[in-house]
Structure 1
Amino acid sequence: MTQDHLWLVDPCASEPYFLAGLGHRPMGGTEATVLRVLSGLAEKGVRSRLFQRADTGSRVSNDPLFYTSLQEAYRAADPSTVIVVINAWKVAIKLRKSHPAARILLWLHNYPGRHNRKMGAALVHAGVEVVCVSHSHATHLRRFLGNAVTGAPKIHVIYNPVSDALKRDATRRDPDLLLFASAPHKGLAEIFERFVAVRQAMPSLSLHVADPGYMTWTTPTPPEGVAMLGPLPQSELHCIMRQALCLFYPQSIFAETFGLVIAEANALGTPVICQRGLGANDEIVSTDDQTLECSDISALVARLTLWRRDPPRIKTQDAFRIEAVVDAWFELLQQPAGVTVAPPEPATTALAS
């Protein structure tokens, strides 16, 4: 791949996004990941174009990326161009018709639904590779796509990145403060139910809810003890996250393909309570004791009681740091089409003191 032939095509984001907004405006985890990876690759000399559904104009002042509208992705490109498409496999197939010689990768950040059963054969036929964001994500996708007749597309695994700026500091933790920092559709109603149950045993607890604010969702009525914070700048959210006893995420409704908020909480030294065996939870937490059978209220109370008495000292896994993630992308972009790049599965450990 030459230095200026990476095209990132995002047909999904409802609003255009730019590096200047990273950390300063509401933004989904996928969009933040895209910007961090492209910015890191720019430091390695890889010049990228980011094609978005909304018309974005062109280059933003002092920004290493070039922004343009989605329609421009269908124009002629150099045969050495590598095209990475976010989530939309049908767009990847359509782009193959416009770019018969280009290497095309589908960067999945979600689990495909049952109506996408035909995507495996279509991706194989079009020669489109897939990048998943965790090993559990890739395992799920292989099972979903499994077809002995048509085969399956080449699948790579590259984690989402955690900013190097997120590190534990000397902030004192509030033993009564729990934090939920995800969109409401990620099991917030169940979070409320379990908070109410836990609070019966620990009535001094409070729950702060920070909505990333990148989409509009129906929010359940908050029970007593819950403070709805709405969208927050990342700096303010991370300040609260440092203070919280834990990231309170004991829901069984929404399976994360990666779980950036989990990795970021651990990077700040904040433990997480999340459902064992759900999505990528077990792979992304840095210690085994952060996953529980969360329908067991007595287990939730016991874990919170332990952490109130003896807050754990943890950090995120090195494989999630931006340098490691950008290196993995750089290696993949240099490889011939079809070569698998997958980081080793991280091993979780007991809580460190």
Structure 2
Amino acid sequence: MAHILFADTSHPKPYGFDDLAAHAMGGTESSLLRTAQILHNQGHQISVYQKNRSLSETQHGIQFLAPEDLAATTGVDHVIVLRKFPQVLVLQKQFPKAQFHLWIHTYKNWEYVLKRGLRLAKPWQLITNSKTHAKHCDRLLNHGFMGRIYNLFKAKVQIKTCYNPIPATLAQGISQHRDPNKLLFLSAPNKGLDQVLKTFQQINQQLKDLHLYIANPGYRDENPEQIANVHYLGALPAEQVKAHLATSLCVFYPQNSFAETFGLIYAEANALGTPVMAHDIGAAREILHPNNPLINAENIKQITQTLIQWQQSLPEVSYRKEFDEPSVYQQWVNALGL
């Protein structure tokens, strides 16, 4: 079995499994914890290094490392760096025998290809969280103008996909009584919220009983605009998010300015039988259940008609096994060569 080290050097505070249950948490952090647990359950030794952790501890059999204890860590086979490419260079010096993987959850601009020009002790592999994301990164790093130049004297960047895991037990203990006039937005404000609010106001003129409830992962401090029939929930722990999802008509996400590389809310909503009103952008088509139709975020008539239709009969969406523990574990086996 392998010793796998996850390295998060960007999150502003430490987090663990207690936080996953009790507090609002971003999709990247929650996915790291769930993935670490899946790998641990299969017998691998898992360590999670967090730059802003002050005290090391063990939770659920997984070692969470503060910076002062990282130096004493030995026998690491794989280092999975979250987000920050420069940390690959830093940690390669400490773990020269390990294989390195950069796990990213966002789309990158063209400048990202310049990282291929940096000299590393060993090759690195990119891990994305959807096939859509992987195709975008492959075009950027290996097939764009600069990428083709690098291909003349450097090996292509290897890119693998590992989905964010969704617990198969997500829907247990949740009431399925829905309010046909309750819409839910569950993302950070920068993910198209302005467009969503404008669209809701237009639709609310015709469908006057609709109410929009807005939550966010808690890492943004915003002064929300007060709008009729719009309710701000703030940052919610996981159980409250599930309760809101299960009692809403749908996740209301008609925006085409922010592309999700995975869209945790897509998968979690569908797992609870809740459709998502989303534009065909990013990984929406890949991650949403096949029965979940997509809409044109700029077509107010289509959105309104779809809401009316869903109030009468919701599309049948459900949990997808592609995101369960056995499937996600096999994806990591393939990515890391375990």
Query: Normalising by structure 1, what TM-score?
Result: 0.87
Output aligned runs, 1:2-41, within 5 Å.
2-3=1-2, 5-41=3-39
Partner of 1:130, secondary structure, is: strand
State the AA in 2 paired with 1:280: A
Which residue does the alignment assign to 2:222?
Answer: 218
CA RMSD of aligned residues (A): 2.0
1:64 is matched with: 61
Q: Percent identity?
A: 29
Q: Does 1:238 align with 2:242?
A: yes
Which secondary structure state, in structure 1, belongs to the residue aligned with residue 90 of structure 2?
helix
CA–CA separation in structure 1 for the residues paired with 2:159 and 2:183: 37
Q: 2:121 and 2:302 mapped to 1: Cα distance?
A: 49
2:162, 2:335 within 8 Å by CA — same for their partners in 1? no
Distance 2:309 2:119 in 1: 49
Is residue 179 of structure 2 the alignment partner of residue 182 of structure 1? no
Deviation at 1:50, TM superposition (A): 0.5
Kept after mapping to 2: 8 A contact 1:292/1:299: yes
Among 258, 273, 279, the residue aligned to 2:277: 273
Deviation at 1:76? 6.7
Is residue 124–residue 153 contact of structure 1 (8 Å, CA) maintained in 2? no
1:253 aligns with 2:253: no
Aligned to 1:350: none
- Measured after TM superposition, the shift of residue 19 of structure 1 is 1.4
CA shift at 1:312, angstroms? Answer: 2.2
Cα deviation code 1:221-262 (max 9, x no counterpart): 142110101111211111111010000011112111100011
Q: 1:159 is matched with which residue?
A: 163
Pair 1:148-2:148 in alignment: yes
Look up the SS of the partner of 1:227 in the other structure: strand
How far apart, CA to CA, are the structure 2 residues paired with 1:114 and 1:207? 36
Stretch of structure 1 that moved more, 5-14 or 108-117? 108-117
Distance, in Å, in 2 between the alignment partners of 1:135 and 1:121 is: 25
Structure 1 stretches (4+) deviating beyond 6 angstroms? none
Q: Give the letter for the 2:300 counterpart.
A: I
Report the Cα offset of residue 114 of structure 1. Answer: 4.1
- Structure 1 residue 327: Cα displacement: 2.8
| 1:89 has 2:85 as partner | yes
Q: Tell me if the contact between 2:165 and 2:323 (Cα under 8 Å) persists in the aligned partners.
A: yes
Aligned length: 329
* In 2: Cα distance, 1:125 partner to 1:155 partner: 19
Give the structure-2-normalised TM-score. 0.91
Structure 1 unaligned residues grouped into runs of 5+: 336-353
Change (3 A) 1:73 1:291: farther
1:282 to 273, 276, 285: 285
**Contact 2:250–2:274 (8 Å) recurs in 1:** yes
> Letter of the aligned partner of 1:257 in structure 2?
T
